[in-house]
Amino acid sequence: MAYRSLVLGAFASTSLAASVVTPRDPVPPGFVAAPYYPAPHGGWVASWEEAYSKAEALVSQMTLAEKTNITSGIGIFMGNTGSAERLGFPRMCLQDSALGVSSADNVTAFPAGITTGATFDKKLIYARGVAIGEEHRGKGTNVYLGPSVGPLGRKPLGGRNWEGFGSDPVLQAKAAALTIKGVQEQGIIATIKHLIGNEQEMYRMYNPFQPGYSANIDDRTLHELYLWPFAESVHAGVGSAMTAYNAVNGSACSQHSYLINGILKDELGFQGFVMSDWLSHISGVDSALAGLDMNMPGDTNIPLFGFSNWHYELSRSVLNGSVPLDRLNDMVTRIVATWYKFGQDRDHPRPNFSSNTRDRDGLLYPAALFSPKGQVNWFVNVQADHYLIAREVAQDAITLLKNNGSFLPLTTSQSLHVFGTAAQVNPDGPNACMNRACNKGTLGMGWGSGVADYPYLDDPISAIRKRVPDVKFFNTDGFPWFHPTPSPDDVAIVFITSDAGENSFTVEGNNGDRNSAKLAAWHNGDELVRKTAEKYNNVIVVAQTVGPLDLESWIDNPRVKGVLFQHLPGQEAGESLANILFGDVSPSGHLPYSITKRANDFPDSIANLRGFAFGQVQDTYSEGLYIDYRWLNKEKIRPRFAFGHGLSYTNFSFDATIESVTPLSLVPPARAPKGSTPVYSTEIPPASEAYWPEGFNRIWRYLYSWLNKNDADNAYAVGIAGVKKYNYPAGYSTAQKPGPAAGGGEGGNPALWDIAFRVPVTVKNTGDTFSGRASVQAYVQYPEGIPYDTPVVQLRDFEKTRVLAPGEEETVTVELTRKDLSVWDTELQNWVVPGVGGKRYTVWIGEASDRLFTACYTDTGVCEGGRVPPV
C-alpha cells in the first residue's frame, strides 16, 4: 500500500544539470564489503522461540509457490505482499510513514522524528509510538515502515534527516527503541530503516544507467555511529528492517552479505525479516544469498511490466538449485515468525483503506489495465485523542535559542504584527501537494514517503489570534514596501521555513536534499527577518525547519529578541506554539543537532553533498567518528548553538552522585551458543508445487510466484541433476556459523547492556517566576592515555524532569552501560572497555553539549559541580 510516493521516484529524479561533472572516483582503498555467508537462520533467541515453533509448523505445510509468494510484494500500486491464504497466512500490509499512517484518511499527522528528538523526553517519545501503533492497527496495517534512523543526520543538507531523531547515535537509538516498543505493543511490526549510509538523497538509487552512490564507511565508524541505533532497535526487538537504496563500500545494500548476514543477522542477532527499499532490489539469487527476506514492492527496478526478481524467478531458482531451499525456508520462517510474534494470527484487522483513492469504491488491482471495482475505503477514524500527544510533542520540542533580556514570554495585551506565509496554513489546503511536495504555508513536515495527510492543521496565526485581540498579519514573505513606522513597543513575529524531503520529488530546485536552498531560510526568510528588524525594536523569529539554518545575517542583531525553532510540528503547530509564546509553558526543547556559524565549519565530506560522477558516486566518510558536535569539539570550533542547546524561562541547578553497579572486564563475557532453529527437509521440492493452478485468470502486472509447467519441469531437472551450478559469490558457504563474540543476543552480546554506572541527578528549579522542565544530558569523556582516539564528549543518556514549580526539585537517573563505555576494536572485532582497571571516565552532566558544569568520576565515585566544561 505504501506506493504512492514512488510514482516519480523510480528513476531517481536528480538534476544532473545542477551538478558538477567529475570523473568517477572508485571506492577508495580500505573500504571493503567482505563476503559473509551463509545467511544465519532465525529463531535461536529464547524470546522468539514460541513464535518460531509456530512458524515452523505452518511453513512446513507450505508449497514452494506459497513460500515464494509471501516473500514479495505483489506489484507497485497493487498493495501488500503475497499470501498463503490456504493456510490462513494473509497478504501483509506494509505502510509508511515514520510519523503516522501515510496516504490514509482520519489519522493524526504527528510531529516529525526530528521534532520528537528535540523533546529529549523518553516518556513522550514512547507515548507517540503507542499512538502511532494504535493508528496503524486501527487501519489494519501489519507493518509500520518506521522509525527511520538512517540517515543519522551526518550532513546538514541531507534530505531525510527530519524523519529521524537527530544527529547523534544515542539520541537516535533511544528514540527509535522507545518508538518500536510503543508501536509493537499494539501488535504492529515496526521497521528500522534504512540500513545503512543513506546520508544524502541525490544519486541514492540504482537505475539502468548508474549505480546508487557508495557510502564508504570504516568498521569502527560503522559500529560507533551509524549502526548504533540499529543495534539498539534490534535489542528492543524490532520485527523488520529495511535496506537502503545506496551501496556501502561498493556493494548495494539490498544484496550486501556483510551487512545483512554478517552484521545484522549474526552480530546483532536480528530475528525478524529484512526487506528491500522500494524498487531497490537489483538481483535475484545474490540478494537471497546475502540475506534479503522480502522483496518490495515486488517489481524489478523498472516497475509495471509484470517482472520480478523473485516471485516466479525465486520459485525457478529454488527448483534449479541456485537458491538452496534452506535459504527460502529461513526467509519464509522469519516472516511468518514475526507475524506470530506480534500476535497477528489473532484477530488482526484487515486493511480498511486504500492509498490510491479517497473514494469509497476504487480499483481492486490499481496497477492493472482493467480492474474490477469494489469498496476500498471504510473511513475508519483512528485519531482518538492523539492530538493531545501530538500537541505535547510539538510543544515540548520547541527550542528557545535566544531570549535577550528575557523578552519572552509575550503578554496577550501587546500589539502583535505577524509576518511570513508560514504563519498560516496553505490556502489551497494542508494536503494540496502530493506527498507534501511543496513549501506553502505552515511547514508541519517535509516531503516524500515520510508524511501523513493532515486531518486539519492548527496554524500559528489562528492560535495567536485566539489569544491576542490586537494582531496584524502580513501574509507575505517580502517585507511590505510601504509600512507605517511601528511604535517602539510593537512586537513583530517573523515566520521562516526550510524544507527537505525524498529524492522522488524536486521542490523549488531542491532534489530532496537542500542542494539549492542550502542552509538559508526559504523564500528570502532571512531578508524578511533583517528588514523587519530595521523597523521593529522587538522581533521574534519562529522557524519551522527540517534542520539547522544559517542564522548569521541576523542572529546578533539586538532587535532580534527571541528565536524559537518549532522544527516540524505536524498538525498541532498553533496551540503548541502559543503556549510557549505567551508563557503558559516554558520551552523545554533542545537542539537535536548543532548550528554552526559557517557551513564550512564542517569538513567537505559533511558540509557538502556529493555531486554527479560517471559511474558510481563515492561518498566517503573521511571524517570518521567526527560528525556534528564531535567534529566541532575536536577542532575547537564554537558553533552558534551547540547540540543539546535549549533555553527555558526559568533556571535549574543540577546536583549529581554516581554509583558503580556492574564491574566491567576488558571485553564482554563469552557469549552463549545459539539456540536451535527450525529444521526442514532440504530436498528440492517437486516441480508441481510451482505449477499455475488450472484455469487461473491472471491479471497483468500482478506478480505471481507460479511457473509454467515446462519452465518448472526444466528447472527441476537441472536442480535434481545438480549439473549446472550458479556462479556463487566469493566466500560462499552453506555451513551455519556459531556467530561472532560480539553477538549472542538481540542487539549483540547481552552483557553490553549491563549497567556499569548509575547517576542520580537532583534538579531544582532555581527561578522564582516560571515553572519548567529541565533536560538532563549525560556525556561521557573517555580516560586519558588510552590507545583509542575518542571524541571529547559523547551523549550516552538523557532524562527530562516533570514540570517543576519555582523551588521544586526532582531526582532523575541517567545510566551508563558497558557499551556506553566501550570502543569498537577493529582487530578484536569486539567492544573493548579501554578504561578497565579503574581508569577515570568523566561523566559530564548538563543541559547541552556545551553546558556541562557537573563532572562525575568513575574512579573516585565523586561528582563535582561548578566545573569548567571540557568543550
Name the residues annotated as catalytic: 277
Q: Which is nearer to ligand NOJ, 449 or 842 (CB)?
A: 449
Angle between helix 122-139 and 386-397 (nearest 10):
140
Is cis: bond before 196, omega within 30 of 0? yes
C-alpha to C-alpha distance for 690 and 67, rounded to whole angstroms: 10
Q: Which C-beta is closer to ligand NOJ: that of 1 or that of 804?
A: 1
Cα Rg, the chain, nearest whole Å: 27
The verdict on 2 binding ligand NOJ (CB under 6 A) reads: yes
Q: What is the footprint of ligand NOJ within residues 444-463 (CB under 6 A)? A: 449
Which residue, chain included where needed, has cell 546483532?
Answer: 268
- What are the strands of the beta sheet with 471-474, ordered from one edge? 399-403, 560-567, 538-545, 491-498, 416-419, 471-474
Give backbone dihedrals phi and psi of 375, rounded to 5 degrees, phi first: -70, 130
Our CB check for ligand NOJ shows the closer of 96 and 396 to be: 96
Q: How far is the CB of 243 from ligand NOJ (least distance, A)?
A: 10
Residue closer to ligand NOJ by CB (options 277, 572) is 277
The grid coordinates listed for 115 are 521534532
Span of 2-10, 433-441, 464-472, 619-627 interacting with ligand NOJ by CB under 6 A: 2-10
Q: Do residues 821 and 841 touch, judged by C-beta distance below 8 A?
A: yes
User: Could you tell me if residue 789 is left (phi over 0), alpha (psi between -120 and 50 degrees) or otherwise beta?
Assistant: beta
Is the CB of 150 or the CB of 444 nearer to ligand NOJ?
150
Residue 203 touching ligand NOJ (CB under 6 A):
no
Residue 624, classified by CB atoms within 10 Å of its CB into exposed (0-12), middle (13-18) or buried (19+), is middle
Do residues 658 and 758 make contact, with C-beta atoms less than 8 angstroms apart?
A: yes
Minimal distance in Å, beta carbon 857 to ligand NOJ? Answer: 43
Question: Out of 56, 121, 277, 499, which residue is the one contacting ligand NOJ (CB under 6 A)?
Answer: 277
Alpha-carbon torsion angle 666, 843, 779, 753, nearest 10? 40
- How many chain residues interact with ligand NOJ (CB under 6 A)? 9
* Binding of residue 205 to ligand NOJ (CB under 6 A): no
Strands 416-419 and 471-474: parallel
Cell numbers for 537: 525594536
Dist CA 791 CA 717 (whole Å): 59
Nearer to ligand NOJ, 433 or 637 (CB): 433
Minimum CB separation from ligand NOJ for residue 502, in Å? 6
User: Which of positions 572-631 make contact with ligand NOJ (CB under 6 A)?
Assistant: none
Q: Which is nearer to ligand NOJ, 503 or 633 (CB)?
A: 503
Least distance in Å: CB of 110 to ligand NOJ? 16
Smallest distance, ligand NOJ to C-beta of residue 687, A? 34
Q: Please report how close the Cβ of residue 99 comes to ligand NOJ at its closest, in angstroms.
A: 12
Q: Are 662 and 851 in contact (CB under 8 A)?
A: no
For the CA atoms of 453, 455, 461, 466, the dihedral, rounded to the nearest 10 degrees, stands at -160
Nearer to ligand NOJ, 246 or 395 (CB): 246
Kindly indicate which of the ranges 1-9, 125-133, 426-434, 715-723 contains the residues binding ligand NOJ, using the contact rule CB under 6 A: 1-9
Q: Is 515 in the site for ligand NOJ (CB under 6 A)?
A: no
Rounded least distance, CB 449 to ligand NOJ, Å: 4
Output the smallest distance, CB 163 to ligand NOJ, in A.
8
Question: Does residue 81 bind ligand NOJ (CB under 6 A)?
Answer: no
Instruction: Using alpha carbons, select from 522, 519, 528 the residue that is nearest to residue 552.
Output: 519
Contact 460, 575 (CB under 8 A): no
193 binds ligand NOJ (CB under 6 A): yes
For ligand NOJ, the binding residue among 14, 58, 71, 96 (CB under 6 A) is 96
Minimum gap (Å) between residue 504 Cβ and ligand NOJ:
8
Does residue 136 belong to the site contacting ligand NOJ (CB under 6 A)?
no
Distance CA 794, CA 792 (A): 7
Query: Is residue 5 a contact residue for ligand NOJ (CB under 6 A)?
Result: yes
State the CB neighbour count (10 A cutoff) for residue 655.
15
Q: Which is nearer to ligand NOJ, 448 or 644 (CB)?
A: 448
Q: Which three cell numbers stand for residue 277?
A: 527499499
Please report where in the chains the cell 523498472 appears, as a residue: 302
Residue of 274, 273, 232 whose CA lies nearest to 255: 274
145 binds ligand NOJ (CB under 6 A): yes
**Is the previous residue joined to 498 through a cis bond, with omega within 30 degrees of 0?**
no
**120, 278, 387, 631: which one binds ligand NOJ (CB under 6 A):** 278
CA–CA gap between residue 294 and residue 291 (Å, rounded): 9
Residues near ligand NOJ (CB under 6 A) are: 2, 5-6, 96, 145, 193, 277-278, 449
